Structure 1
Amino acid sequence: MDRSGVGRQPVVFVPGAGGIGLDFFLAHEQVARFATSLIYDRAGTGWSDDVALPRSTTEVTDELRALLGATGLPAPYVLVGHSLGGAYVQRYAQRFPDDVAAMLLIEPLHEDWNDYMPDHLKINTNAAAAEGALEVTGDLIAHFRRSFTETFSAFPQPLQGLLIDKHLSPERLLTGLREGSNVLAILDDLRAGGARPDVPLIVLSGTDIDAAQKLFASEGQLREQIAASGKLFASIAAKAPCGEHRSLPGTTHISIPMVRPDAVAAAVHDLARRAQQRP
């Protein structure tokens, strides 16, 4: 983990499946100018110790709460969750509502996903099959390296190289597939977990497609998914008493934290201000 900055209502970044805390480095630096910011690697990801994957939402949120307790950072927190991390943030808010001041969800996994998707894009099987279907070859790794090099192009060296090498290392290359292989159970937990707390909420979403996504779906399918998920994200924001959806042209599902740290930091700033203005 890394902690930086000072300020009320600490900001905690929760990466997506296979993500690394330092993926948020540029946003972390910007947020630290006006708040206490914390990035970390979940167990089994990044530079943290290995654990058996996948893990339940209870395990992940208990771990996060223990981490925050160990740091001594006082609640409530502004929680920032990307993709699968967005599901973990929502589950944390369901379980520990008094600990949450606001939520920033970046392309979040949500239990209403299937309600917005055409039949061929619905989540209806265990995602564990995806790992077995992906053959790790030299060409695949080279493909990912080119994609990561573009995504992390604004990061300073040697951090850029360290991050790319860690993402592509044998022990971490398939972490995202493994973490997300219990996606149906995660959606069930969110569905049964009750309402989210009445706190300020912003949803960020991308509009473009990157090369890595084309390994798993056609461009046509990805365009359909982007259009449908945009409606889902707008609905999530509309259902929150203090919700807002911001679409970011030129970004993809994966790249928002890395290529638009300014948009992430601006959303965090707005959420922190709104949280402080509430009774």
Structure 2
Amino acid sequence: MKTFLKWLKRFGFGLIALVALLLIVGFFFERRARNAAEKIKPNGDFVKVGNHRLHYYKKGNGGPTVIFETAFDPSGHLQWYNIQQKLPTTYTSISYDRAGILWSDRGEKVKSGEEIAKDLYLLLENVNAPKPYIIVAHSFGGTLTRFFVNKYPKDIAGVIFVDSQCPDDEKYLSPELHTMTNQGLPSGLLKFANNFGIARLMFKNMFPNNKDFEYHNTIIPALLFKSVNAIFEEQDQMISIKKEASKIKSFGTIPLHVLTATDEKRYDSFIKDKNLKKEMLAAWKKMQKDFLLLSTNSRQILVANSGHYINQDQPKVIVNTINNLVLETLW
């Protein structure tokens, strides 16, 4: 028995030493990777907004300007990069990285819906983006877009929600499901992992692992060390942002197109309980339908064979919706 305990103790010490060694190696690997990432040339340009710079990617010239607002994730403008390549260059399209994400400076402003809307407005003003604006917003981006529409309605020609988040989802979900879907990312664990090179491995293939997304899957993990803190700030402010956004209940007559994913298997990896999954599918369907009440000029487009990331699964639907809305704006 004593011999067994002795070997068990040795094994324990050996395991601790191995973990410590791996963390040390990971720490120095992370520092080297960060130095290399700082040398990566941005694919867009910068504009000063207050006391910080925002990075944006622009295609085309002329009006109107199609603006892309990103979901809650560290991909920034890259979420829309491929879609921008498919749009005509006869009008302008602009995607950007919110403060602190990818190449954008963090700045000092609090991560609130109001301040994020101001940042975007100043970006567009400073780069002389042709008006009016058409906003394309995915998931959490749809919640943020409410602030922009509420503050600058005269500049907006249309809005496209891409499987948008519902800010008052608590009204549609049972307490158990609401807690499950709003628990967020484990910030403490991921911040720790970010210091030792583990986080960049976890986010290595955020996009599909194919040629169309090679660039995305290279940039996101490389710059994750910069993006992760900003993402967690947005998570910390999520409840407050959603609460304020839920008070914005009307876009007036601004055209609103609601793109809704319909793949019933999209929650399989996230929700194991069949009853909860059934509830989630029904609630999401109801939330998406109720978005139509935001505008007196609204329509819903059901997107078959697509999960939450329609921009990856069915990008043509987004491109066609944008082009149709641009034609409506021009005529």
TM-score (norm 2): 0.70
Aligned to 1:93: 149
Task: Give the structure with higher Rg (CA).
Answer: 2
Equivalence map 1:1-279=2 (5 Å): 1-18=56-73, 19-51=75-107, 55-122=111-178, 130-132=186-188, 136=193, 142=201, 144-146=203-205, 148-150=206-208, 153=210, 155=212, 157=214, 159-166=215-222, 169-173=224-228, 175-193=230-248, 195-206=250-261, 207=263, 208-209=265-266, 214=270, 217-218=271-272, 220=274, 221-222=276-277, 224-253=279-308, 255-277=309-331
Rounded Cα–Cα distance in structure 1 between residues aligned with 2:157 and 2:65: 9
C-alpha contact (below 8 Å) 2:99/2:230 kept by paired residues: no
Secondary structure of the residue aligned to 1:229 is helix
Rounded Cα–Cα distance in structure 2 between residues aligned with 1:227 and 1:194: 22
C-alpha contact (below 8 Å) 1:127/1:177 kept by paired residues: no
C-alpha contact (below 8 Å) 2:146/2:248 kept by paired residues: no
C-alpha contact (below 8 Å) 1:126/1:182 kept by paired residues: no
Q: Deviations over 1:56-85 (max 9, x none)?
A: 111100100100001101322000111111
Q: Which residues of structure 1 form unaligned runs of 5+?
A: none
Amino acid at match of 2:317: A
Secondary structure of the residue aligned to 1:170 is helix
Q: Which residues of structure 2 form unaligned runs of 5+?
A: 1-55
With a CA cutoff of 8 Å and minimum separation of 6, indicate the structure with the bigger relative contact order: 1
Answer with 91-100 or 129-138: which moved more: 129-138
Rounded Cα–Cα distance in structure 2 between residues aligned with 1:271 and 1:22: 22
Rounded Cα–Cα distance in structure 1 between residues aligned with 2:207 and 2:245: 34
**Aligned-pair CA distance for 1:180:** 2.6
Aligned length: 269
C-alpha contact (below 8 Å) 2:252/2:294 kept by paired residues: no
Rounded Cα–Cα distance in structure 2 between residues aligned with 1:235 and 1:96: 23
Secondary structure of the residue aligned to 2:157 is strand
Closer, same or farther in 2 for the Cα pair 1:205/1:182, shift >3 Å? same
